[in-house]
Chains A and B, each alone.
Chain A
Amino acid sequence: MKSWLTTTDHKRIGLLYFWTAFGFFLIGGTEALIIRAQLVRPAGIGVSAETFNQLFTMHGTTMIFLALMPLSAAFFNFIIPLQIGARDVAFPRLNAFSYWVFLLGGLLLNASFVAGPLFGADRLSVAPDAGWFAYANLTSRQFSVGPNVDFWLLGLQILGIASLAAGFNFIVTILNMRAPGMRMLRLPPFTWMTLVTQFLVITAFPVITVALVLLMFDRFFGTHFFVPSGGGDPILWQHLFWMFGHPEVYILILPAMGIVSEVLPTFSRKPLFGYTVVVYSGVVIAFLGWTVWAHHMFSTGLGPIADSVFAGTTMLIAIPTGVKIFNWIGTLWGGQLRFTTALLFAVGFIAMFIIGGLSGVSHAAAPADLQQTDTYYVVAHIHYVLFGGTMLGLFAGMYYWWPKMTGRMLSETLGRWHFWLTLIGMNLAFFPMHLSGLFGMPRRIYTYSAELGVTRFNQLSTVGALTIGIATLIFFWNLLSTRRRPINAPNNPWGGATLEWAMSSPPPVYNFTVIPTVANRLPLWQTERHAPMEPLPERPPAPIHVPGGSWWPMITALGMPVMAIGALSRLLPVVLVGAAVLIVGIYRWAYEPFET
């Protein structure tokens, strides 16, 4: 147990991220199921408006920050050092710190569900309830009286630190810790997409940090940054939030695209078609992702020039995305396809992401968006790209890399059930939302009138959601039941081409007996141009130093939620204690002898 608390090993941290994130995914999914139960019929099932507000706010916040991002991080952690031929990340303790901060931030956010009595609320739950993008000035002290929004902004502030730390860590790792011969254009596509994503993280998160600080000052100290009566402009919140928020969605999708670019070649027994173009498209998507934010604000009266500019940039981003899709199809074309569950999910990603991309392009046309915005049409879009896209991509990664991470194979039979039920379920759940949205069903409403004519669509969506739920439980059962199997997965069960498959499953603690020298993009494959690299020795020629663990990442991480609790309860001494823990932790960390 102690070794898990003090671990700085990227493989263990990856597993910690996985299980924690999956747990939050189940919580977010439960929130979705309650939402869908309430919306199955016009009058609902008795969920109050206030509870409903908390449910959709927490569902969105949880899925984005506590499920999708950390599930991606699970793979960044476990796979990237292996793919680049390194023994660990550049800053192992910082890596552990990121995990603990994530866990604590997530716990703080969810603690709000039962913290009501501590705040004298008349209900158990004071969970955030202003939507996952918390528009001002609904979030002002005047209109959001309780601690709900405070939990949200403090929780997100903490989670932001985790992401930023990981961002710096992985940028340096990918650039500076590559094995000899691992030139940038020999990097596996997943590593490339991760690198691009981390640049988005370190540029976008500071902006939401500022937005949250300004909101915090409004709510805690009485400033009027977003309060009209004091001269503040709620639109500034939207700009700052979406300047973060749009890069954030590319942060969510690019890693999954990277996974697809790994899975397709392996199960087509063909290299990724147009590798260089796929990499550059990822870079272009990230760059353009910074230029489109106000397409979330077409209905706020930006004016014709801004509307046109953002409509244009938004349409432009479809191009590199389309390029990737064609290259993926080109990879499959003519390949010797093996339809493992991983490949099914990767192909499913392509199909579902195309649908989500099409609704996205329709949003880009500002006049059309005026009808679509704030309706279920947008909900359809985001779930096609984030569930049909990111989540299916992550599932592909899970089936693909599970043997490497745990030494056990997942059941392919259960995997097929998981895939098909998920695919059917998600289309049943989200496709009708295009229609209910266009027929006028707004977002974030807890009941709707039967006269609106969207009841049938909602019923289908609820059935779809339930189907997804069942599929997910089947997957969860798959995960749990493999734990009883012996750890006997081969080094390279799928015949992959990249370095993570070179050693045992799971790899030894030091990753590689000898750091390989890389000569091409597909080191483990025989191709027309080259032979596979020499197998690595069974045992290291000399003892390999592996750094021990450290308590300081976890202890330092603890300082922040303590500060947050002090802020929530307006107890300055508690804030100071948290700050002291943080500072002492940093000093002890800095002066600890730690050899990588």
Chain B
Amino acid sequence: MSEQAHATTGTYLRVAAILVMVTLIEVGVFYVPAFHTVLVPVLLVLSAFKFTLVVMFYMHLKFDNRFFVFLFGGPLLLALAVVVSLLFIFYGALRLRTGV
């Protein structure tokens, strides 16, 4: 089992604190009307950040063999492409046809 660098308990607690804070920010953005124009991109970025933290630190991907990044990252990117392309096909096409 390869354990090059290793996160400490302190790191885990710090990550947990960041996750909680980011969640609070997300909820805040949701409730503050002034942010509604940027709601979607901000939330996507923030949740992607949380996602990355959990994967890198809790799932240890930052410290593990790079191959696991490929094994997970490849299908993950594919899944993202599936979501985006279906959204475009169903909404983009709709917008094009109705000229909206």
Bound: A305/B95 CA distance, A: 12
Bound: A243/B97 CA distance, A: 24
Tell me the smallest distance from the CB of B70 to a CB of chain A, in Å: 11
* B18 at interface by CB-CB < 8 Å: no
Q: Can you show 23 pairs from A to B with CB atoms below 8 A apart?
A: A199-B74, A202-B75, A203-B75, A203-B78, A207-B82, A233-B90, A236-B90, A239-B86, A239-B89, A243-B82, A290-B78, A290-B81, A294-B89, A302-B89, A302-B93, A303-B93, A303-B96, A303-B97, A305-B92, A305-B93, A305-B96, A306-B89, A306-B93
Tell me the smallest distance from the CB of A178 to a CB of chain B, in Å: 14
Bound: A243/B81 CA distance, A: 12
Q: Mark A287-312, 1 if CB is under 8 A from B, else 0.
A: 00010001000000011011000000
Bound: A459/B92 CA distance, A: 47
Bound: A290/B75 CA distance, A: 11
* Most chain A CB within a 10 A radius of its CB, from B74, B82, B89, B96: B89
Bound: A303/B88 CA distance, A: 12
Q: Which residue of B lies closest to A306 (CB)?
A: B89
Near B by CB (< 8 A), chain A positions 189-244 give 199, 202-203, 207, 233, 236, 239, 243
Tell me the smallest distance from the CB of B12 to a CB of chain A, in Å: 28
CB contacts (< 8 Å) of A203 on chain B: these are: 75, 78
Beyond the given A239-B86, A306-B93, could you list 5 further A-B residue pairs with CB under 8 A, ordered by the A residue number? A199-B74, A203-B75, A236-B90, A243-B82, A302-B89
Bound: A303/B98 CA distance, A: 12
Tell me the smallest distance from the CB of A399 to a CB of chain B, in Å: 36
Near A by CB (< 8 A), chain B positions 1-24 give none
Tell me the smallest distance from the CB of A246 to a CB of chain B, in Å: 13
Q: Mark A411-440, 1 if CB is under 8 A from B, else 0.
A: 000000000000000000000000000000
Q: Which 3 A-B pairs have the closest CB atoms?
A: A303-B93, A203-B75, A203-B78
CB contacts (< 8 Å) of B82 on chain A: these are: 207, 243
Bound: A233/B91 CA distance, A: 13
Tell me the smallest distance from the CB of A177 to a CB of chain B, in Å: 15
CB contacts (< 8 Å) of B86 on chain A: these are: 239
Bound: A303/B82 CA distance, A: 18
Bound: A491/B82 CA distance, A: 48
Q: Mark A374-412, 1 if CB is under 8 A from B, else 0.
A: 000000000000000000000000000000000000000
Q: Which residue of B lies closest to A293 (CB)?
A: B85
Tell me the smallest distance from the CB of B66 to a CB of chain A, in Å: 13
Q: Mark B29-70, 1 if CB is under 8 A from A, else 0.
A: 000000000000000000000000000000000000000000
CB contacts (< 8 Å) of B78 on chain A: these are: 203, 290
Tell me the smallest distance from the CB of A211 to a CB of chain B, in Å: 12
CB contacts (< 8 Å) of A199 on chain B: these are: 74
Q: Mark A279-292, 1 if CB is under 8 A from B, else 0.
A: 00000000000100
Q: Which residue of A lies closest to B93 (CB)?
A: A303
Tell me the smallest distance from the CB of A102 to a CB of chain B, in Å: 23
CB contacts (< 8 Å) of B90 on chain A: these are: 233, 236
CB contacts (< 8 Å) of B81 on chain A: these are: 290
CB contacts (< 8 Å) of B93 on chain A: these are: 302-303, 305-306
CB contacts (< 8 Å) of B97 on chain A: these are: 303
Tell me the smallest distance from the CB of B47 to a CB of chain A, in Å: 22
Bound: A236/B82 CA distance, A: 12
Q: Mark A316-338, 1 if CB is under 8 A from B, else 0.
A: 00000000000000000000000
